Amino acid sequence: MTQNGTLPARHRLFRSGFAAINAIGADRWLRPFTLGAGMILMFHHVRPWQDKAFAPNASLEITPEFLALTVKILRREGIDIISLDDVAQRIMGNPGERPFAVMTFDDGYRDNLEHAAPLLRALDVPWTLYVVDGFASGRGSLWWLDLERVIAAANEVSIFLAGKLQTYQTTSLKQKYATFDALHRRLKTGSEEQLHRAMDELRQRYELDPNSVVRELCADWNELRSLAKDPNVTIGAHTLTHPILTQCDARKVEAEIALSKDAIEMRMGRPIRHFAFPHGDAASAGAREFRLSRESGYDTAVTTQPGHIFASPTADLWSLPRVSINGLHQTENALRALLSGAAFLPQAILPSKRRA
């Protein structure tokens, strides 16, 4: 899909929703009810737009220009951009007169250092990078990107699933998207073991070096230590290997949450106070994971459950929702709907549902 090309149906719906919210001025008049104390924004890749026809992960990347526009609109709307270290005070103590926003970036991509860091430094914006211990060490699997690469290059994709070799035609763009969507869904809902077995076999069949994508795309420890000299930068933990935590057994989930804190602290030579759940939706992080992140000594933990944050002395700091800045919606309309909270109206009316 190109940036201005055909959007999948559900995203066409979002786009008309964002446009409608702005057309009736709802981002203004709903704001007192929906904005809350503030929000934690979530980003992934930041890099110049690559005009490729097949881009099934395009929702996970924005351009540096759109990042700059986001900062500009936050400031124009009177929203304080604060460090993650100051969030607890804003939610549980004195919320302050102005709403807050926190900028968070997941996975530790090198493009964040190349394209986001200089821009945020110039604009004096605090931000957090959630790092995966394995990725920064040059090991691991960004399996959704490996899957994209295999499908992009092949006219037919065969994959071993549930003990059977299954073959998909991937000649046309439509077939490539359908295959990606089907396999992504299937791999994410199966067990961790099945996911890795299927992806290892797929990489072998299509001669993709298992660690090559991670080494190409993720910053290493030297780069991260150099980045962290910037006082505006906070490094957070995002596990050892980026698994779907709800599918891990008790020992593994504890290691992924608690040991990643120790490992990243040792590598970075500084305390690590904040954690992000990989994938982070309701199916990937639940009560057990929230409890473990609290018991492991993190000050906060963030999900990818959508929503703004409402001030409360009893707020749960280990299952915080975030506002995803989606690469398929790099428009001022979308930003204003998301930043006002109007896009999350059901959550604002029923705040208890937010953590369901």
Which region among 91-99, 101-109, 200-208, 254-262 touches Zn ion (by CB under 5 A)?
101-109
Cα separation, 287 vs 245, in Å, equals: 11
| Cβ closest to Zn ion, residue 36 vs residue 140 | 140
Applying the rule CB under 5 A, the residues between 311 and 330 that interact with Zn ion are none
| Cβ closest to Zn ion, residue 99 vs residue 280 | 280
How far CA 341 is from CA of 38, 39, 251, 270, 349, in Å, comes to 9, 9, 38, 34, 11
| Cβ closest to Zn ion, residue 107 vs residue 133 | 107
Cα separation, 259 vs 174, in Å, equals: 42
| Cβ closest to Zn ion, residue 35 vs residue 219 | 219
- List Cβ neighbours of 88 (8 Å cut-off, separation of 6 or more): 299, 300, 317
Q: How far is the CB of 278 from Zn ion (least distance, A)?
A: 5
Q: How far is the CB of 274 from Zn ion (least distance, A)?
A: 14
Which region among 102-110, 140-148, 256-264, 297-305 touches Zn ion (by CB under 5 A)?
102-110
| Cβ closest to Zn ion, residue 275 vs residue 318 | 275
Write out the E strands in the chain.
38-43, 45-46, 61-62, 80-81, 100-107, 127-131, 156-161, 164-169, 233-237, 274-276, 300-306, 320-324
| Cβ closest to Zn ion, residue 27 vs residue 106 | 106
Q: How far is the CB of 227 from Zn ion (least distance, A)?
A: 18
Residue 164: strand pairing partners:
161
Which region among 83-91, 98-106, 152-160, 192-200 touches Zn ion (by CB under 5 A)?
98-106
Q: How far is the CB of 107 from Zn ion (least distance, A)?
A: 4
Applying the rule CB under 5 A, the residues between 245 and 304 that interact with Zn ion are 278
How far, in whole angstroms, is CA 150 from its chain's centroid? Answer: 23
Residue 292 corresponds to which tokens in the numbers above? Answer: 């473990």
* Interaction of residue 133 with Zn ion, rule CB under 5 A: no
Q: How far is the CB of 66 from Zn ion (least distance, A)?
A: 20
Q: How far is the CB of 132 from Zn ion (least distance, A)?
A: 7
Select the residue interacting with Zn ion from 106, 111, 133, 148 (CB under 5 A).
106
Residue 190 corresponds to which tokens in the numbers above? Answer: 């199966």
Q: How far is the CB of 130 from Zn ion (least distance, A)?
A: 7
Q: How many residues bind Zn ion (CB under 5 A)?
A: 3
Q: How far is the CB of 256 from Zn ion (least distance, A)?
A: 12
Select the residue interacting with Zn ion from 107, 111, 256, 289 (CB under 5 A).
107
Q: How far is the CB of 108 from Zn ion (least distance, A)?
A: 9
Give the helix/strand (H/E) hosting 73.
Answer: helix 64-76
CA-closest candidate to residue 283, choices 226, 194, 356: 356
Angle between helices 64-76 and 332-340 (to 10 degrees): 50
84 contacts 300 by C-beta, under 8 angstroms: yes
How far CA 126 is from CA of 100, 109, 228, 320, in Å, comes to 12, 17, 11, 19
Read off the amino acid at residue 227: L
Query: Can you give the length of the chain in residues?
Result: 356
| Cβ closest to Zn ion, residue 95 vs residue 278 | 278
| Cβ closest to Zn ion, residue 107 vs residue 289 | 107
Residue number closest to Zn ion, CB atom: 106
Positions touching Zn ion (CB under 5 A) are 106-107, 278
